Every structure is written in C-alpha cells, then in structure tokens.
Amino acid sequence: MGNAIGMIELSSIARGIETCDDMVKAAQVELLRTSTVCPGKYMIIVAGDTGDVKASMTAGKKRGAEYVVDTLLIPNIHPQLIPAIGMTNQVDIRGAVGVLEFYSVAAAITAADIAAKAANITLIEVRTGFAIGGKGFVTLTGDVGAVRAAVQAAEREAEMLVETTVIPRPSKQLFDALL
C-alpha cells in the first residue's frame, strides 16, 4: 500500500472522474476511494510510495485545474490511516471513544494521522464527506488518557475544526453502532 496518501477534491463531478483516471495512470498508486461528496463535489484518495503519490497528485492537479478545491498529501502516514479510511480497521479492545469533526475531508484525514501518531489509540473510522454535507470526521478508541491525548494533539494542529468529544465509558449500543 505504501507510506503516503494523497487526496484531491474537485467542484466538478465530470472533471473529477477524468482526473481520477489520469491520477491512477500517472503512477503506481492504489485507488482508496473515489466518489461524489456533498454538496456536488468529487473526491479522489490514492495511496502508495511517496514519489508515486506525488506524481499522481501532480497529474491530478494538472487535469483538475480550475476545478480543484482542496488537496492533501501526507508522507509517512500512520499504518492505521488507510484501513480507517476504508472502514476496515480491527477494533480488538473497546475503550473510551473520541470524535473529531471537521468542515473539510482533508482536515479530518490529517487529524486522524496526527491523533494516531500522538497516542496509543485505535482509529475506528475516517468518514469522508458522503451524506454529511462534505464534512469529515474521525472516531477512535483506547484508554481514556490516550483518547484525550490523541484528541488534544489533533485539536492543536487542526484546521476547520467543528467540534470534538471524548466519551469515557460509551454504551455497548453506541460502540456497536460505530463499528
């Protein structure tokens, strides 16, 4: 999968689909997600080695041109980030729950990486813009101290933050709903 992640968000769905094709043809990257996001935008997320992700992003920005509204490139990502975006992280131990909510998908992805690097937590999910008004949010779990430390680290470096919360002892029903 590689050690880097890149994302491009566009204001045109048609140009977004075309841009996605250029990005995956430009370098050896894995297409993690490509979809429409509210309100009427298009998002592409790729992963791979840093050089390949950079080459893919360069091609994407060129093709997307005036329709590019946001981009993100994170080298040396935390190993939990890609599975959290794909909603495939294994949650072996249930603990406190932390939630980070952002006005931007890129901000949510960045915050998830920061939180995972800051404390011994497990990322549950990084939700990316679909059916939530183009927002992004991160859910994570671990012991209360680690969850608080991860949330605080992400808050310190966050852009476009809406709200955060830490639930020390979530109900089983809530935790099940998050998985």
Would strands 68-74 and 122-128 be described as parallel, antiparallel, or unpaired?
unpaired
What would you measure as the largest C-alpha separation in the chain, in angstroms?
48
Pair 87, 61 in one domain: no
Pair 38, 85 in one domain: no
Residue by residue, pLDDT tens for the chain (179 residues) are 679 999 999 999 999 999 999 999 999 999 999 998 888 889 999 999 999 999 999 999 999 999 999 999 999 999 999 999 888 888 888 999 999 999 988 999 999 999 999 999 999 999 887 666 678 899 999 999 999 999 999 999 988 999 999 999 999 999 999 98
Pair 20, 64 in one domain: yes
Query: DSSP code of 87?
Result: T
Pair 28, 86 in one domain: no
Query: DSSP code of 129?
Result: S
Pair 117, 166 in one domain: yes
Pair 45, 70 in one domain: yes
pLDDT of res. 130: 64
Please, what's the b/e burial string for 129-154 (b: 16 or more CB within 10 A of its CB; e: otherwise)? bbeeebbbbbbbbbeeebbbbbbebb
The total number of structural domains that make up the chain: 2
Pair 65, 13 in one domain: yes
pLDDT of res. 132: 63
Among 13, 40, 74, the domain boundary falls at 74
E runs forming strands in the chain: 4-10, 30-37, 41-48, 68-74, 96-102, 122-128, 136-142, 161-167
Pair 111, 67 in one domain: no
Pair 124, 101 in one domain: yes
- The domain that contains 172 carries what CATH number? 3.30.70.1710
Among 44, 74, 104, the domain boundary falls at 74
Among 74, 98, 118, the domain boundary falls at 74
pLDDT of res. 104: 87
pTM: 0.91
Pair 22, 62 in one domain: yes
Domain span at 22: 4-74
Pair 63, 89 in one domain: no
